[in-house]
Amino acid sequence: MRKGLLITFEGGDGSGKSTQLSLLKEYLIQKGIKILTLREPGGVAISEKIRKIILDNKNTEMSPVTEMLLYAASRAQLVSQVIKPSLEKGITVICDRFVDSSYVYQGLARGLGIDTVKLVNDIATEYILPDITFFMDIAPELALKRRFNASIPDRLENENISFHRDVYMGYLKLTELYPERIKRINGEIGINAAFSSIKKYIDDLLCRYIK
């Protein structure tokens, strides 16, 4: 049986990841493709419990290393319990965040280094990488404004603006490091226009994948 695809969305909170993920889900379902959507951190019971610890505004003393390890632990459980078995069954998985978030948030913005984060997460992911990743490119100031208007900010969202700018610059660096996998999508041109760009990449991926 042909293995499923792993498609991920990345970007700052409020960048439009969830909206585009939902649109892509419906688009692929219409093509007759079996789809599973997930979020990180979370997705399964154990990972959701870890998510609460990571994002709790009371946990302001959390060290960058602790943060990295908690994200990796949540990811390891999700990969083992859901992602890997689903891909092996031919189900395409669309995930709101994956390992690139750790490269950016802990590796670059927290200063632990991509190599350190990669070493830990290679174990957590069992070396599984996305087939394609969409980085929703939107100015951090605008993304945060959108996010704060939607709900109460969590621990990471409450970081100062310089941290969020570092996260944004980190994503730009990743697009340079992994241009074949990470596709930069302008998140400020409107929902439909952004999704049109995503569809083009997906249609090309499906054509190559089907072959």
Mean pLDDT of successive 10-residue segments in the chain (211 residues)? 88 92 98 97 98 97 98 98 97 98 98 98 98 97 81 89 96 97 96 98 90 56
In this predicted structure, what is the pLDDT of residue 81?
98
Concatenating the DSSP letter of every residue in 44-94 gives SHHHHHHHHHHH-TT-TT--HHHHHHHHHHHHHHHIIIIIHHHHHTT-EEE
- Please say whether the beta carbons of 75 and 125 come within 8 A: yes
In this predicted structure, what is the pLDDT of residue 112?
98
CA atoms within 13 A on the CB side of 184: 15
In this predicted structure, what is the pLDDT of residue 108?
98
Would you report the helix, strand and coil content of the chain in percent, each value rounded to 5? 55, 10, 30
Residue carrying the six token digits 């990449």: 201
pTM of the entire structure?
0.95
Two tokens at 65?
């290393």
What letter represents residue 183's amino acid? K
Instruction: Say which residues have a Cβ less than 8 Å from residue 179's Cβ, sequence separation at least 6.
Output: none
Two tokens at 126?
């069992």
In this predicted structure, what is the pLDDT of residue 30?
97
In this predicted structure, what is the pLDDT of residue 199?
98
Query: Of the candidates 119, 135, 144, 174, which has an alpha carbon nearest to the alpha carbon of residue 8?
Result: 135
In this predicted structure, what is the pLDDT of residue 210?
67
Distance CA(125)–CA(90), nearest Å, equals 18
In this predicted structure, what is the pLDDT of residue 150?
66
Sign (positive/negative) of CA torsion 77, 65, 11, 113? negative
Distance CA(38)–CA(91), nearest Å, equals 13
